[in-house]
Amino acid sequence: MVVKVSVLLLLSLFFTVSALRPAPPLEGLLPNGNFEEQPNSKDLKKKTVLQGKYALPKWEINGLVEYISGGPQPGGMYFPVAHGVHAVRLGNEASISQTIPVKKGSLYALTFGASRTCAQNEALRVSVPPQTGDLPLQTLYSSNGGDTYAWGFYATSNVVKVTFHNPGVQEDPACGPLLDAVAIKELFLPRPTRVNLVKNPGFEEGPHLLMNSSHGVLLPPKQEDLTSPLPGWIIESLKAVKFLDSAHFNVPFGRAAVELLAGRESALAQIIRSVPKKVYAFTFTVGDAKNGCHGDMMVEAFAAQETFKVPFKSQGKGNFKTVSFKFTAIADRTRITFYSSFYHTKLNDYGALCGPVVDEVKVTPVA
């Protein structure tokens, strides 16, 4: 009898501890996030057009949505599918959506493979109510068209509906953005410290990296710091910046860095706390990602009323250098900004944009 009671107490304790243990952070593909769970053949018309609201497993569809395989297509087109075999193409005003459980009040980043299928000005609208954003797909950052993007949102409830929508109406009904993988990651808000006023200074907290993705993750333009997929940082430019991981690129420090790959159209910023008239030391590292980006580079950095120019000659070998400057704050908030002075493409691939890498940003008060 004593043994039975002891076992029951142990089981009770185990389940109590399990219930109190916080749930692990959410990260990975959404259910059928890579679209490899195929629809029933009876739900396909003309071999590719999905018929019925729930024809695509785990997803809800509206409008003309096609289920395609990557590679050459009828009519001479070619659809790149970088993260698997299958993808979906969104026709005029078409959308796919999925409802997922999240933590209310937490910050999340969606990572997804997306590309345009025609030379027309296509866009992809991403929404998690009440937040929505349009991603311009006209610029191809990689020559194969298999770009990967990240988009951030705050969860306002414990269940959210993620929707990808083609807001455009193209003359050619065979056009429309291609979506080939969707993943999610819960992000944690970094804090400044006494030794560094910059939040997420080494860009270590960032979006999920899709499997089979060696091109980095594009952080789309006009992302505010409150919902940025790169916590603490603002992408305030007309073009994207790229989040790089150390598994596929040369990163000066840690596991991640950012690449300013569209010249002055690719800017990264952060607003830090400061004390007016106080002097601060501003330190950061500039280099190349060892990704075939060669030439004379220049990173321009701004803090308060100061401008700093850092030349860097890239030989594509993953070299880097750390520089330090001083500035005097003029307000209780100071914006620090980085952009590349010049435009670059890869030496062996003129269709792929690239640029200097920035890492380990540090601002500290001078005693």
pLDDT digits (tens, 9 = 90+) for 250-288: 999 999 999 999 888 889 999 999 999 999 999 999 999
CATH architecture group of domain 217-365: Sandwich (2.60)
The answer, yes or no, to whether the previous bond of 130 is cis (omega within 30 of 0) is: yes
Q: Per-residue pLDDT tens for 239-253?
A: 889 999 998 899 999
Residue range(s) occupied by CATH 2.60.120.260 in the chain:
27-187, 217-365
Q: In which residue ranges of the chain is pLDDT below 50?
A: 1-21
- Among 324, 327, 355, 323, smallest CA distance to 341 is for 355
- Among 303, 107, 275, smallest CA distance to 187 is for 107
Confidence at residue 78, expressed as pLDDT on a 0 to 100 scale: 72
Confidence at residue 136, expressed as pLDDT on a 0 to 100 scale: 85
For 117, the 3-state DSSP assignment is coil
pTM above 0.85, yes or no: yes
Contact in structure between 147 and 114 (CB atoms under 8 Å): yes
- Output the CATH code of domain 27-187: 2.60.120.260
Confidence at residue 6, expressed as pLDDT on a 0 to 100 scale: 46
Confidence at residue 116, expressed as pLDDT on a 0 to 100 scale: 84
CA distance 244 to 258: 6
**Angle, alpha carbons 145-150-152 (nearest 5°):** 155
Q: How far is CA 191 from CA 141, 188, 197, 233, 331, in A?
A: 32, 10, 8, 12, 20
Confidence at residue 102, expressed as pLDDT on a 0 to 100 scale: 97
Confidence at residue 24, expressed as pLDDT on a 0 to 100 scale: 62
Confidence at residue 76, expressed as pLDDT on a 0 to 100 scale: 66
